[in-house]
Amino acid sequence: MKIYNTLTRKKEEFIPIEPGVVKMYVCGPTVYNFFHIGNARTFIIFDTIRKYLEYKGYDVKFVQNFTDIDDKMIRRANEEGITVKELGDRFIKEYYRDADNLNIERATSNPRATEFIDEIIKFVQDLIDRGYAYEVDGDVYFSTKKFKEYGKLSGQNMEELQAGARIRVDERKQDPMDFAVWKSAKPGEPAWDCPWGKGRPGWHIECSCMSQKLLGETIDIHGGGMDLVFPHHENEIAQSEARTGKPFSNYWMHSAYLNVNNKKMSKSLNNFLTAREALEKYDADVIRFFMLQAHYRNQLNFSGELLDAAKASVERLYNAIGNLESLLDEVSRKELNDKDKIFVQKLEEYKQKYIEKMDDDFNTADAISVIFDMVRDINSSVDVESSKELVETSLNMIRELGKPLGILQKTTKGSLEEEIEKLIEERQKARKEKNWALADKIRDDLKERGIVLEDTPQGVRWKKI
Ligand code: AMP
Ligand code: ZN
C-alpha cells in the first residue's frame, strides 16, 4: 500500500512500526462552535483512511484531539457568559452528534488539551532543560534556530521562512520565527500553576504532548488539513523531535480544502455551511459520497448542484441494493450454477480493482468508479433467474466495498417501511384538513406500488399485495 508523505513529497510504501498495528493522530476541532462541512471533509477523509486500514486488517489506534483552550475558546465563552470548560463540554457533545450522524467512527481516544496540563508542563520543562526553549516573563518560546531541521515539513529553510513571514515583531523573542509553547496568564483567562507562574499551553504543544503520551514517541501517521502543514505541524515536529531525538511521525498526510467559489470554506470568510445544516438536507451517504468522489489531495468545490448530483448517484446505488433485496424474496434456485460462478469471479475482480485503487494513496475517486462499474454489471446480470447465493454475494460485495467509505450500509427495506408510515401520516393529516383529493391520491399512489391501506379501529394498517 502506498501513501503520499508530505514530509518526503513522494508516495511511499506504507510500513507500520509494529506489524499489524497503525498508530495514527489527527488534529481535531477547536470546540467553540459547530463544525462546518469544510472541517467535515477532513474528518471524513481521515475516518475513511482509518476504516480502510481496518478493512485491510490493521488494528488502528486512532487519536483525535479536542482543542478546548485557546483565544477563540476564551473569546466565545466570554461572549456567552459561560466558562471555557462549559463551552468545551457543549461543543464536544455537538461534535459527537454531527460526527455520529456523518458515520464517522468514534476515535480510540479523543483527548482534551485541558486534561493534559501536567503532562504539557513536563514537556515544556524538558524543552527548557534541553536548551530548546526559553522563558521570558512567564511566556515560554521554542527556539527554532536550535532545531536544525526546522522547515523540513513545509520544505522551507530558515532564511526563506523569515523572509516570507509576516510576523509581529516581538522584542521578547530571540528570533521572529520562535513560537509560544506556553503563554502567561492574562486577567480573566483560565490559567494553571506552573514553574513560570500561571499560564496556559500554546496550541502546538498539546498535539505533541498528547500524541506522545497516548501513542508513543514515534507514530505511523499524522494527519490534518492542508492549512496545518505550516506552522502547526512544523512546530509539532520541532517540539516532539527536540524532546525525544526520534522521528515524530513516519508519514504525514494532509487533506485538501473544501472551497466555495475557489476560496477555502472557513469561519472567518463566513462562507460556510455547518455539518448540521447539511445533514438537514442530505443524508450522510450523500455528503460522504460528495466528499470522497474527489481525491483527498485535490481541492473540491462545494455547491448545492454538486450535492444534488451526489444524491442522484447515491440513489442509483441504493436502487441496485433495493433490487437485490427484493430479488432475495423472489429467486427460487439456491445454489450457484456455472453461469453464476463466472459472475462471482467477476465480482472478485472488481474487488481486486477497488483494493488496487485504495492501496494507491486512498484513491477514493477511482474506487467509487469501480463500484459504479460493478453495480452496472450486477444490474444487467443478476435477476430472478439467478440463484439466491449469487444475489446475496452481489449484495454483500456492494456493502463490503462501501464500508470503508462509510456508505451503502443501509437497507432499503427499513426505509420503505418508514416511507410508507410517513405517507400514511400525511394522508391522515390531509383527511383531517378535509383535503380528500390529496388523501385519495396518496392511497392510490400506494396501491399502484402494491400497498393497500386498511382503516381499522386501531388506526391505519398497510399490507403488501
Ligand atoms: P479547526 O477547528 O479550524 O482547527 O479545523 C479542524 C480541521 O478541519 C483541521 O484539520 C483543518 O485543517 C480542517 N479544515 C478547516 N477548514 C477546512 C476546509 N475548508 N476544507 C478542508 N479541511 C478544513
Ligand atoms: Zn495538532
Nearest CA to ligand 1 atom 11: 225
Single pTM value for the model: 0.90
* pLDDT of amino acid 454: 87
* pLDDT of amino acid 169: 65
- 304-405 has which fold? Four Helix Bundle (Hemerythrin (Met), subunit A) (1.20.120)
* pLDDT of amino acid 63: 98
- C-alpha cell belonging to residue 343: 459472475
121 closest CA partner among 205, 63, 47, 58 = 205
User: Domain ranges in the chain?
Assistant: 2-281, 304-405, 415-464
With the most atoms of ligand 1 within 8 angstroms of its CB, the residue from 39, 64, 67, 73 to mutate is: 39
* pLDDT of amino acid 415: 67
Residue ranges, the chain, pLDDT below 70: 164-169, 415
Radius of gyration for the alpha carbons in the chain, expressed in angstroms and rounded: 27
Ligand 1: residues with CB < 6 A are: 27, 29-30, 38-39, 41-42, 224-225, 227-228, 255, 257-258, 264-266
CATH no. for 2-281: 3.40.50.620
What residue type is 273 in one-letter code?
L
Instruction: Report the nearest atom of ligand 1 relative to the CA of 257.
Output: 20
* pLDDT of amino acid 155: 92
